[in-house]
Amino acid sequence: MKLDHEPLAEARDAAGALAPASPAETADVRPRAAAEDDASPGTWALVVLLAVATFGVWLGRTIIVTAPDAAPFMARDRATLELWAGLEGLLCGYGLAALIAMAYWTRQVLKAFRPAVPRWGLARWLLVTFLTLAATWLATADIPAGSVNGTPVHPFSGEIAGLTIAGGVVAIPGLVGFLALRSLARKDDQWDQDPRRQALTVLRLRTHLRRLLGTFGLFLTLYVVTTAARRQLILSFYPGVTYPQDYPVLVGLVAAATLGLLHVTATMAINWRCDRLLDQYAPVPDLRAEDISAPLQRRRDLAAFLGADSSWQETFQSGLVVLAPLLTALIGTALPK
């Protein structure tokens, strides 16, 4: 299944273009690179992802509506239960598709390491991933779904536990991908290559970062939506129930903080690498020189090409994706009972 071409395919082609080659070799390389770009992503890859997502929607909804705890809800408030079951199905479907996509993109990032992924680095990434998931679970695990006259109620507790574990599995490739991007950008021994290939590598890292941010951010937002919908389900079914209004906000805050920390650290590492490249290939000129316009313009052009001077629109879009889980939680708690 081909979602995208190799992360450094363009860089390898560019590096090959710098070496002396005959006209026949040049004519042979360029069409292959263009054909590879045109063939990505493949149509069948999208079909497979949609098929997996459809299966996940069916599976998630079936788990909820066929659960033993669903019978009283189906008799008294079926519409609210069906809404929550549909959201759970959507979360499962998107989660399975996101798992495949993020695993593929993370694998592409890992393949960019030369000569291979450092074992201690991979162990550290997995440890950070485990600690992140553990901290998230500890922050929310002991909060009951609701309480009636001081007695906690836990409908669908088994199903929720299983889906939560599955959600943690889905998050692993995304977390590892962010950490791998940061490590790849920071390691000097991974940048012993020609200037053009270095520049193209930076562009590929930013592309993977945007993909992971959007995919992982939407997954966390859907998780917060289903959490808020479950609160509405409990409030509509149990008379006199108490459900902490801040619980969805807590979940959204944890999700936004995790996503923001991963994105900021990876972005800072890539920007740090861009600064190194700028200082090497377009240094700041001597301010006492008579003509500094040309070198300064060269530095600005290279910074723009590397994406080091992101516009406010790009910054706003990234911030909106990062804060989407928290904003969704705040909107969900503002809805009437």
In the predicted structure, residue 33 carries a pLDDT above the cut 60? no
In-domain check, residue 2:
no
In-domain check, residue 180:
yes
How many CB atoms within 10 Å of residue 50? 12
In-domain check, residue 262:
yes
Determine the Cα–Cα distance for residues 137 and 164; give it in Å rounded to an integer. Answer: 9
Q: What is the pLDDT of residue 8?
A: 43
In-domain check, residue 232:
yes
Q: In the structure encoding, which two tokens stand for residue 307, read together?
A: 């994406």
In the predicted structure, residue 30 carries a pLDDT above the cut 50? no
Of the candidate ranges 19-23, 77-81, 159-163, 250-254, the one whose mean pLDDT is the lowest: 19-23
Q: What is the pLDDT of residue 241?
A: 80
Q: What is the pLDDT of residue 333?
A: 66
- Percentage of the chain modeled with pLDDT above 70: 84
Q: What is the pLDDT of residue 190?
A: 87
For the chain, give the mean pLDDT: 82
In-domain check, residue 4:
no
In-domain check, residue 312:
yes
In-domain check, residue 3:
no
Q: 79: number of CA atoms within 13 Å, CB side?
A: 1
Determine the Cα–Cα distance for residues 21 and 69; give it in Å rounded to an integer. Answer: 70
Contact between residue 251 and residue 227 where contact means Cβ atoms under 8 Å apart = yes
- Residue of 1, 101, 96, 88 lying closest to 55 (CA atoms): 96
In the predicted structure, residue 310 carries a pLDDT above the cut 80? no
Task: State the pTM of this model.
Answer: 0.81
* Average pLDDT, integer, range 113-128: 89
Contact between residue 208 and residue 109 where contact means Cβ atoms under 8 Å apart = yes
Determine the Cα–Cα distance for residues 83 and 81; give it in Å rounded to an integer. Answer: 5
Determine the Cα–Cα distance for residues 81 and 84; give it in Å rounded to an integer. Answer: 5
In-domain check, residue 82:
yes
Q: How many domains does the chain have?
A: 1
In the predicted structure, residue 304 carries a pLDDT above the cut 80? yes
Q: In the structure encoding, which two tokens stand for residue 135, read together?
A: 């901290």
List the domain range (segments joined by +) for residue 256: 9-334
* Average pLDDT, integer, range 306-325: 78
* Average pLDDT, integer, range 138-152: 75
Over residues 275-297, the pLDDT tens digits come to 999 999 999 988 888 889 999 99
* Average pLDDT, integer, range 87-113: 94
Over residues 209-256, the pLDDT tens digits come to 999 999 999 999 999 989 888 888 888 888 778 877 778 888 889 899
